[in-house]
Amino acid sequence: MQIPSADQFRPERDPGNPRLPVRWFAPIADEGYDLHVPEGAEGEADAASVAFAGVVLSSLDAIMDEAVEHMRKYADAERLGIGRGRPDVHGVFCDARYERVEIGFSWEAQMYILWTVAFRWDGAGRRSPVELSVRPR
């Protein structure tokens, strides 16, 4: 999986809350989702977070398995119609400064619901899920 180059990132501001910090995003070629990173010191995508994304994206299948397992601890997946199959990834946010990753995903059976699981990385490269959210897409 190819990490986007610095010139492929574009700034985005949350129109619903302009006080939130700017995030930068770029599409992941041939994957159908975007990589998001915080803004760096020079008004561009944070270089350390883009590098961190290389580590994250190389393990994305395992991370997705952990995200789905974490989500199923709190939601009745069978009742919701999402008990089987693999969800589609909609976006990945990587923040090297806070060692945080957020994965947004949904299932075809519930394509209008976006699940997000946030992970915290420790200094040794281990990760653990720390947050789960769900919202309309």
Spatial separation of the C-alpha atoms in residues 28 and 3, rounded to whole Å: 7
* Confidence (pTM): 0.91
**What are the CA-CA distances from residue 44 to residues 27, 69, 97 (Å)?**
16, 34, 15
Q: Is residue 69 part of a domain?
A: yes
Q: Is residue 83 part of a domain?
A: yes
> For residue 17, what are the domain limits?
6-136
Burial of 44 (0-12, 13-18, 19+ CB in 10 A): middle
Q: What is the pLDDT of residues 47-83, one digit of tens each?
A: 999 999 999 999 999 999 999 999 999 999 888 888 8
pLDDT > 90? residue 36: yes
Give pLDDT, residue 44: 93
**128 within domain boundaries:** yes
Task: Answer yes or no: are the C-beta atoms of 1 and 57 closer than 8 Å.
Answer: yes
Tens of pLDDT, residue by residue over 85-122, are: 889 999 999 999 999 999 999 998 888 899 999 999 98
Cα-Cα-Cα-Cα torsion 52, 131, 1, 26, nearest 10 degrees, comes to -80
What is the percent of the chain where pLDDT is above 90?
A: 66
Q: What is the mean pLDDT of residues 15-28?
A: 89
In a domain, 1, yes or no: no
Q: Point out the least confidently predicted range of 9-18, 27-36, 125-134.
A: 9-18
Residue 123 has pLDDT above 80, yes or no: no
Domains held by the chain: number:
1
